[in-house]
Amino acid sequence: MAAWLWVFLGGGLGSMSRYGISRLLGKVNSSFPFATLAANILACILLGFLVGLSLREELGPTNRLFLMTGFCGGFSTFSTFSSETWQLFESGHYAYALGNIGGSVLLCLFAIFIGLKLAAT
């Protein structure tokens, strides 16, 4: 039962953090979903860092549940990314939609790499 509680608490904090970023970056006057991209990149940097620590066995199972599954899971958002990309297509912003898809995948993969490198230092 304790595992569920750690995931729940981490997920709540991650979701609230993502909400804070969308409030902060939501003021950018653009059709492009910068807040979602920023949240996903930050979550990937953190997740990469945590994976790096886990590989060196410096992060215990409870912390993995709380931080990796809970916080990073609540902070990142694939469903919002997908919905916003669909809305860009629907509104005729094809270049933004394709840029969001390509940019998100490439930047998030690079963010994982950065997080892993940070954990290695």
What gap in Å lies between CA 10 and CA 6, rounded to an integer?
6
Angle between helices 94-120 and 34-55 (to 10 degrees): 30
Please give the pLDDT value at position 30: 79
What gap in Å lies between CA 4 and CA 95, rounded to an integer?
41
Q: In the numeric block, which tokens belong to residue 12? A: 């709540």
Please give the pLDDT value at position 7: 97
Single-letter amino acid, residue 52: G
Helices (H), the chain: 2-25, 34-55, 61-63, 73-75, 78-90, 94-120
pTM of the model: 0.90
Please state, in angstroms and as integers, the Cα–Cα distance from residue 78 to each residue in 7, 54, 95, following that order.
18, 23, 20
Chain Cα centroid distance, residue 51: 14
What is the sign of the dihedral through the CA atoms of 28, 38, 36 and 67? negative
What's 72's DSSP letter?
I
Q: Which residues, given as ranges, of the chain have pLDDT below 70?
A: none
Please give the pLDDT value at position 37: 94
Please give the pLDDT value at position 110: 98
